[in-house]
Structure 1
Amino acid sequence: MTDDVDVLLEAVLSVGRGPELEGTLHRVVQTAADVADARYAALGIIGEDGRIAQFLTAGLSEEEIRAIGPYPRGRGLLGELIRHPVPLRLPDMSADPRSVGFPAHHPPMRSFLGVPLQVHGRPFGNLYLTDKRGGGEFSPHDQRLVEALASAASVAVENSRLYDEATLRERWARGNDEISRRVLEGDPPELVLDAVAQEAMQVAGADVAVLATVAVDQDDHLQVRSAHGPGTEGLVGTLAPLEGTFAAEAYAAGRPVVTHDAASDRRQTISFNPPSVVGPLAALPLGGPGRTSGVLTVGRRLGTPPFPRVVIDALAAFAAQAAVALELAERRHDAERLAVVRDRDRIARDLHDLAIQRLYATGLSLEGVGRRLQDRSDATADAERVGRAVTDLDETISLIRTTIRGLQPSTGTVRRVGLRARLVAEVDAASHALGFTPALHMAGPVDTLVPPPTADHLVAVLREALSNVARHAGAQRVGVELVAGDDVVLTVSDDGRGIPADARRSGLANLERRALELGGTLTVASARPGTTLCWRVPLDG
């Protein structure tokens, strides 16, 4: 009896040696295997859907785990303990009619002991032990030891869960403060959305995060505004249809869409590449039903724990802040546009009431002088010069009136924003990340010659190129040149460190695909110092 007490005391102390939940759970599994002298042990954490959401093992190597494939979800004997949470001890698993067998590459297992693990009287998971060392079966004594361990471990598990939740809420508060600061300081939407995606990925413990909003010119598509994590390089600016995706469902319903295994779901992820590596995934709308402006999507690697409720609550708060940032940016844009319209109206009035009237009066005076000069035979040349001056004044008045009409706001539908204005906006937005404003030069009738689809590609290419410079080049100067003629040519050059020979090219590959879709080319030249990117596509004559 004393030996059992010592064994249990040592086991409980081992389980409670660390505050983090993940580490505590792994110690529970290993300690259970040691107490019962089992070759293999596992802990199946029960998800909100009543199936196994996380499966931790002891006794299997990494190679064996990879060969077996996806973890079990709760069929057969494993599911029996979920449906009936009472201890289960079997001398031979294969002989039990509830057994469904093992997947390929699974090591053979014979004896079985299953014990439920409860926290605050509610099912938390189940301990599964197999293959008693020495070839025998698990005894009632082993069962009592594991039951006692499970009872004591529930306290450690609950403490670790509370610790993890407190840590997460602290990160949530810090992220919330950072995003709120950016919103209140009036940072550009791109910077706020980027901060939202980064903070969401950190708070959720996610591997990837993508934030997309409704495309300006295609309201049936989402456009990626920020992307972080492996497999997301070159995604900023790309479009995804508002159908058949988790993001589309979250956008349409105006509420979060959460799954523990996106890889096995027919709904594809918005843009993770390849989508098969994403397991737990959450897509959260920016705004509520009927007023959704975009979607925040985060994902974890396949086989990792699903997102708990507290994480979904934090992500929903971040998504709401992103919606507020977009709304404020739109209101600021409206206010700035109204200020410009008012200023143009004032200038138009001043031109009409002051400049034109003075020019008209000057023209009348000169006409009078011209008539008097015509009556003098020795002043014919002077009269002609005065006449030409009056003609010039008439042309100037006509030009000013044309300018006034251009300053007045259009009464028709809103015109599409010109490519020049969009490129200027991209350069201005990139200046915050670069720390300086790139030099921008445009030549040719850019707004007239470049069709809208090509213009959309150009904006996305420039955004990605400037983002790459800001993140990787360490440049002090950046030049952007756009020339429209038979071809449209976008050149982005910097004086940074250049592209390393072993650097990943996924972002550049995306830019090259855009060029190839339009029958064009992408060339990248590295110098010392600096890099020059040239994106060229033909224009239909």
Structure 2
Amino acid sequence: MTAGHGDGAARPDADLQDILSAVMVVAQGLDLPATVRRIVTSAMALVDARYGAVGVSSDDGSLQEFIYVGVDAETAALIGDPPCGRGLLGYLLEVQQPVRIAELSEHPSSVGFPPNHPPMHSFLGAPIMVGGNLFGCIYLAEKADGVAFTAGDAKAIEIFAAATAVAIDNAQMHAETLRQQQRLGELQVIEERERIGRDLHDHVIQRIFAAGLGLQVARSAAADEPVRERLDAAIGELDRTIADIRATIFELSTDGSGLRSRLVRAVRAVSHGGETSVDVGFSGPVESAVADDGLARDLEAVVTESVSNAVRHSGGTTVAVTVIASGDAVTVEVADDGTGIPDGGRRSGLRNLATRAELRGGTVELLPADAGAERPGTVVRWSVPRQP
């Protein structure tokens, strides 16, 4: 259902490339609250809305959560309690179809605003359906140029809402996996972890892989180079997601006390919630090569400092951590795709890494990841002799 007039927008409606860009932003993480907030901000940017929110529906048809952007904390405090799903917000939950309105006050379901609420006139909303069930609705108000939302805006948000359902589904699955892990009893932990690992491998990875194949087919049919580039980026993001899930499967298949699990946890602790994608890989007999707990603590510290530094200062979007146990050395490499080695040739935190390496007769190097690239990136390589 769509209502409203006034389609004289000041800029062209969002196209496929804009929608794809917005969906890629939403799909950057697995944390559900962060995913929902990215949905709000991306939807606002897609149609130039000043205010946006996602209302998460409850079983009784009301709103159990209301995540908003555009109203500052002071104004929100003056307004009071968030909406519970009455009026137009509840109407959208009921009809579960896109709604576009030029003047909010003229809609039959409108119940007005509480005191201190900013004025809003134009409105655009769309439901988010996950697995055939209503997750909630996207609410947008006040197009930035002062005119009503267009029919093109409504179509873009409808497509965007449908696409974000996949990101929400993945985040919910991730959250449910974490909840299941917390509930596992001591006697069931190994069996349950193995089952979850199999499910992730047999179902989730296969679904993501199938989605990647679909994008590759779409890429081959795309005529515009910008669209192909966006599809390539989306395919790369799916590949990184598969790598993350495989790392999770590895953790589930161990008791969590080994060096690999400790290093994976260290990486996640400093990268969780950020916008940078961090992959972790191992080569060689890492567990047997690091028998000394002191060296294990050094490796944790090196990984933590290097990844934290790359996430905060490199300006890149991806970081790759590789721990290598060769015949005569144990090496940690942390590579990013950022702007490169800073002026002066050093990066903060490197002195501590150098001290740890020198105490064990090792070395630390700071090198460009790809010297000929426009964004050369940086590799931190920390290496110490392998213990006899």
TM-score bracket, normalised by the shorter chain, equals: 0.3 to 0.5
Of structures 1 and 2, the one scoring higher in RCO (CA 8 A, sep 6+) is: 2
TM-score scaled to structure 2, two decimals?
A: 0.44
TM-score norm. by structure 1 comes to 0.32
